[in-house]
Chain A
Amino acid sequence: MLMSVQQTSQKKAAKAARDASKYWKKWHLTWNVLSLVAVAAAYFENKLVASQEMVDNKTYYWFLAVYFAYLLIVTVIGQFTNGRLHNYNGHFAQLNISLGVVLIIQDLLTEKFAVLEQPFFVSFAQILDQMRENAALLWASTLSSLGLWVVSFIVGTLLGVVLGLGMGRYRQFNYWAFPYLKVIGIIPAAAWMPLTMVIFPTSYMAEVFLIAFSVWFPVAFMTIGGVQGISKEYFESAKTLGFSEWQIVRKIVIPGALPSIFTGVYTAMGLSFTMLVISEMIGAKVGLGWFINWAKGTGNYTQVYAAIVIMAILFSVLFALFTKVQDYFLRWREKRN
């Protein structure tokens, strides 16, 4: 009981130490106040400088207001507490200032002085306004893209892991499968595009195939390496402890290869995002890729930017989720700060 309390406090201390090295910039109230000033300045710049272009800036003002409120709250909390929020915002205060400055510069370049002109260049305010206007369609497109990606990514990853484990563990299977799969896997998924459109009965299936195809190979390749890199002693210990073959696969091969599998999945994620957008641009009637293509067709480049911003957010969130999942499954590894 006492020990477990001690362990919890040890864990807390370890976490705090990791935070301290991750958020290494020290808290300075000046930086936080300056970040507030920068965001406020972005508002007044937009409000006061005369515009060359017709823009509805209301959504932009909302955005700035929310951003300002967020900064104000964390500045106050950070000033009077000493926890995670303090470290986090102390670290990112300077970055927040730079974001305020970037907002001002892009606004001046586009809306205000039209150095970068419409329709190919638009201000962030216009993108936000477009997102509000087209919210329903963009939301539907996002969900559709997300759904397609999740299904294809899971299919591709499972296929890659199963083939990789098989080839990494079983010599016979490796002998027969590896040469063929190596040649097939090296083909860029995009090259299959014309064929998939006619071979598969629905464009959805064609898209799943293309995305899964871009995923399975890096995953399988890294899985093989992962299995082959497991120290012989683990297999031998397992045998002297009475493991069956299936138990060896489940308790030695899979966890032992997991770090390498995650590296493969990480690589595959980037490829899969590319393939997601490309295949939606060609085949689909839904999704963010389709939305971009459609907007291009109507000449509305603001909508293209809106879709790009959403992709940036969506894919960042997916990468962040990946990192969380990876950290959980590899929690047994030594943390290197």
Chain B
Amino acid sequence: MGVLEVDHVNRRLQDNNGQEINVLDDINFTVNPGEFVAIIGPSGCGKTTLLRLISGLDQPEDGQVTIDGDRITKPDYSRGYVFQHGSLFPWETIEENISVGLKVTKGHNYDKELVKHYIDLMGLTGFENSYPHQVSGGMAQRAALARSIIMKPEILLLDEPMGALDAFTRADIQNVIYRVWEQTHTTMILVTHDIDEAVYLSNRIVVMTPRPGRIKEIVENPLPHPRSRVSEEFAAFRHEIQEKLNFGLEDVQEASR
């Protein structure tokens, strides 16, 4: 259950001058349950656009996105979405933010123990009653993760959730995500600019190129778990991905010439 198929999807949008642009062009891939897929590519290649189609926030012009053959037509809490800046609700405390999805779907008899569990797991104990502006960026991002994960989604969509964080906090949250994935086997789709992050976390890496947004290649990650960020294999695979991305950049330069 929970096989995601992105089936020959096109997305066309109007730019500021009313010109139609192909943001996504014939995107086609399948994600099996429990996989960890990273999507990587230069800015503007349509990563966010693709993730929004999978979540159901937007609809493609052509093709379709399906789960177990059922077309996705609107957002649902079975597909969690973590935004780049977390977008915690500033008027709710950390605890209220984390429990809000349970509250609105299960009513007030939701599992309070579960909330406590995730607060502990994310290292947020002691900050339950703080408001988002009172905690650090890393904590806010962990709370945003908890808010989606607690809904036990089939698929968790992560749109550069660590993009705005410093290297230490970033590594810390990568480990949190890894642990959650290991324990729950939730399907994860992670958009990132950071090659190390993709190599460290994913089973497969989708490399995209811009204008129009296309999949250049899907690369299997050969590294066994647990992974080390400093091993030679890591560096070698990292290098391989880097090269594929540089090709992408050359394409851009040609296109803009």
Q: Are B104 and A333 in contact (CB under 8 A)?
A: no
- Within 232-272 of A, Cβ neighbours of B (below 8 Å) are at 233-234, 236-237, 239-244, 247, 251-252, 255-256, 258
B residues in contact with A251, CB < 8 Å: 89, 92, 100, 104
**Interface residue range, chain A:** 20 to 34
- Within 63-90 of A, Cβ neighbours of B (below 8 Å) are at none
Q: Does A7 contact B (CB under 8 A)?
A: yes
The minimal Cβ–Cβ distance linking B67 to chain A, given in whole angstroms, is 14
Q: Does A180 contact B (CB under 8 A)?
A: no
Q: Are A252 and B133 in contact (CB under 8 A)?
A: no
Q: How far is the CA of A332 from the CA of B104 in the complex (A)?
A: 21
Query: A241 touches which one: B85, B129, B151 (CB < 8 A)?
Result: B151
Q: Are B75 and A3 in contact (CB under 8 A)?
A: no
Q: Are B92 and A332 in contact (CB under 8 A)?
A: yes
Main secondary structure on A side of the interface with B: helix
B residues in contact with A7, CB < 8 Å: 126, 129-130
Q: Does B13 contact A (CB under 8 A)?
A: no
A residues in contact with B57, CB < 8 Å: 236, 239-240
Most buried by B among A231, A243, A247, A256: A243
B residues in contact with A3, CB < 8 Å: 125-126
Q: Does B90 contact A (CB under 8 A)?
A: yes
Q: Does A21 contact B (CB under 8 A)?
A: no
Most buried by A among B87, B105, B147: B87
Q: How far is the CA of A247 from the CA of B147 in the complex (A)?
A: 16
Q: Are A241 and B100 in contact (CB under 8 A)?
A: yes
Q: Are B104 and A244 in contact (CB under 8 A)?
A: yes
B79 nearest in chain A by CB position: A240
Q: Are A242 and B105 in contact (CB under 8 A)?
A: yes
B93 nearest in chain A by CB position: A332
Q: Are A240 and B148 in contact (CB under 8 A)?
A: yes
Q: Does B161 contact A (CB under 8 A)?
A: no
Q: Does B55 contact A (CB under 8 A)?
A: yes
* A1-26 near B? 1/0 per residue, CB < 8 Å: 00110110000000000000000000
* A189-220 near B? 1/0 per residue, CB < 8 Å: 00000000000000000000000000000000
Most buried by B among A4, A242, A334: A242
The minimal Cβ–Cβ distance linking A218 to chain B, given in whole angstroms, is 22
Q: Are B80 and A240 in contact (CB under 8 A)?
A: yes
Main secondary structure on B side of the interface with A: loop
A residues in contact with B92, CB < 8 Å: 251, 255, 332
Q: How far is the CA of A251 from the CA of B129 in the complex (A)?
A: 17
* B71-86 near A? 1/0 per residue, CB < 8 Å: 0001111011101010
Q: Are B89 and A252 in contact (CB under 8 A)?
A: yes
Given A240-B148, A242-B105, CB of A233 within 8 Å of CB of B125 = no
A residues in contact with B130, CB < 8 Å: 7
B residues in contact with A236, CB < 8 Å: 57, 75, 81, 83, 87
Q: Are A233 and B83 in contact (CB under 8 A)?
A: yes
Q: Are B89 and A240 in contact (CB under 8 A)?
A: no
Q: Are A241 and B87 in contact (CB under 8 A)?
A: no
Q: Does B101 contact A (CB under 8 A)?
A: yes
B residues in contact with A258, CB < 8 Å: 91
B residues in contact with A241, CB < 8 Å: 77, 80, 100-101, 104-105, 147-148, 151
Given A240-B75, A333-B133, CB of A247 within 8 Å of CB of B104 = yes
B residues in contact with A256, CB < 8 Å: 91
Q: Are B151 and A242 in contact (CB under 8 A)?
A: yes
A14 nearest in chain B by CB position: B134
Given A3-B126, A236-B57, A252-B89, CB of A243 within 8 Å of CB of B83 = no
The minimal Cβ–Cβ distance linking B104 to chain A, given in whole angstroms, is 5
Query: A242 touches which one: B55, B93, B104, B132 (CB < 8 A)?
Result: B104
The minimal Cβ–Cβ distance linking B72 to chain A, given in whole angstroms, is 12
Query: A240 touches which one: B55, B126, B131 (CB < 8 A)?
Result: B55
Q: Are B75 and A6 in contact (CB under 8 A)?
A: no
B90 nearest in chain A by CB position: A332
Given A3-B125, A240-B80, CB of A255 within 8 Å of CB of B91 = yes
B residues in contact with A333, CB < 8 Å: 90, 133
Q: How far is the CA of A239 from the CA of B80 in the complex (A)?
A: 10
Q: How far is the CA of A247 from the CA of B106 in the complex (A)?
A: 13
The minimal Cβ–Cβ distance linking B207 to chain A, given in whole angstroms, is 26
Given A242-B105, A243-B104, CB of A237 within 8 Å of CB of B87 = yes
Query: Known pairs A7-B129, A240-B77. 13 more at Cβ < 8 A?
Result: A236-B57, A236-B75, A239-B74, A240-B55, A240-B75, A240-B76, A241-B80, A241-B101, A242-B105, A251-B104, A256-B91, A331-B131, A333-B133
Could you list 14 examples of A-B contacts with CB < 8 Å?
A3-B125, A7-B129, A239-B57, A240-B81, A241-B100, A241-B105, A244-B104, A251-B89, A251-B100, A255-B89, A255-B91, A332-B90, A332-B92, A332-B93
A contact residues vs B (CB 8 Å cutoff): 3-4, 6-7, 231, 233-234, 236-237, 239-244, 247, 251-252, 255-256, 258, 331-334
B contact residues vs A (CB 8 Å cutoff): 55, 57, 74-77, 79-81, 83, 85, 87, 89-93, 100-101, 104-105, 125-126, 129-133, 147-148, 151
Which 6 A-B pairs have CB atoms at the shortest separation, nearest pair first? Answer: A3-B126, A242-B77, A241-B101, A255-B91, A233-B87, A240-B81
